[in-house]
Structures are given as structure tokens and as C-alpha cells.
Amino acid sequence: MTVPTQVMTEWVESDRVSIETTSEAGVQLLIEKDFQCLHKSGEQDPDAYPQPLMS
């Protein structure tokens, strides 16, 4: 799967949580940002997006 650079950049830099599309064959694809966990104490994934519900 490929995502155009402009689409990916806009998604990463925005508050938008997901990208969703359907292929010509009817396959649905949903990509969501990985947010920091709310219920787990300890080490968080450093690559995860800040949890919007924590602010």
C-alpha cells in the first residue's frame, strides 16, 4: 500500500485521527494514529502520538 506524500504529511500534522479508503476491488483500508495509552503506567511508546484525552 502506498499513500501520497502530501496526504500523509497533512494527516500527520493535523488533528485528523485516520485515513480511510476503498480499493477498486472493494477492499476497505483504515489507518489510524497510534496514541499513547491512557490506562497503562510505566514506559510509553516514544513513537506514539500524544493522547488528546490527556489534555
Query: pLDDT value at position 30?
Result: 93
Q: Is the dihedral of CA 19, 48, 14, 52 positive or negative?
A: positive
* Number of Cβ within a 10 Å radius of residue 8: 13
What does the block give as the cell for 27? 477492499
pTM beyond 0.75, yes or no: no
Query: pLDDT value at position 41?
Result: 64
CB 31 within 8 A of CB 16: no
Query: pLDDT value at position 18?
Result: 92
Query: pLDDT value at position 36?
Result: 74
Ranges of each domain in the chain:
5-37+45-54
| pLDDT tens track for 3-55 | 899 999 999 899 898 999 998 999 999 998 887 777 766 676 777 777 777 76
